[in-house]
Amino acid sequence: MLPDKTDRAILRELQKDGRISNVELARRVNLSESACLRRVRVLEEEGVIDGYVGLVNSAKAGLPGNVFVRITLQRQQQKDLEEFEAAVQRVPEVMECYLMTGDSDYLLRVVVANAADFERIHYQQLTRLPAVARVQSGFALRTVIKRTAIPID
């Protein structure tokens, strides 16, 4: 089911504040409390709403650096991809991992405390992942934009 106009309004509000009460959410989207709660539950059950989280400021939590890492595997056989993907999920500093087209197989975003921290992660974790042939990395100098809400039109 694609979200209708009312569901999209609910999603926009929840992306702004996932802790909003149902009473306030219903008021903002002009629904009764019971109808609003029913719609939110359907959105959750259908997986449109994946979950609820608290966004932590990584710099204030001691991990101010973002490193973007391109990984090239030795082979792109299904078994290699599956083993790599299972292993990379066990590296806690890897915040995002994407299977890519182009000259590298994966793109990772890794949070780090500093260059020495990345060196540790690079040698102890990334280069030891299954089937890795090449690791190329670049430190982000500054975050220009970072969104947590997707556009809901």
Q: What's the pLDDT tens digit per position in 41-86?
A: 999 999 999 999 999 999 999 999 999 999 999 999 999 999 999 9
In single-letter form, the type of residue at position 56 comes to: V
pLDDT band at 1 (very low <50, low <70, confident <90, very high): low
Check: CB of residue 96 under 8 Å from CB of residue 108. Answer: yes
Q: What is the pLDDT of residue 35?
A: 98
Class of residue 77 by CB neighbours under 10 A (exposed 0-12, middle 13-18, buried 19+): exposed
For each of the domains in the chain, give its residue range(s) and CATH number, in order of start: 5-45 (1.10.10.10), 65-139 (3.30.70.920)
Q: What is the pLDDT of residue 3?
A: 84
pLDDT at residue 103 above 90? yes
Q: What's the pLDDT tens digit per position in 20-42?
A: 999 999 999 999 999 999 999 99
Beta strand 94-99 with 106-112 is antiparallel
First to last CA, the chain: 15
Q: What is the pLDDT of residue 2?
A: 74
Secondary structure string (H, E, C) spanning 15-81: HHCCCCCHHHHHHHHCCCHHHHHHHHHHHHHCCCCCCCCCCCCCCCCCCCEEEEEEEEECCCCHHHH
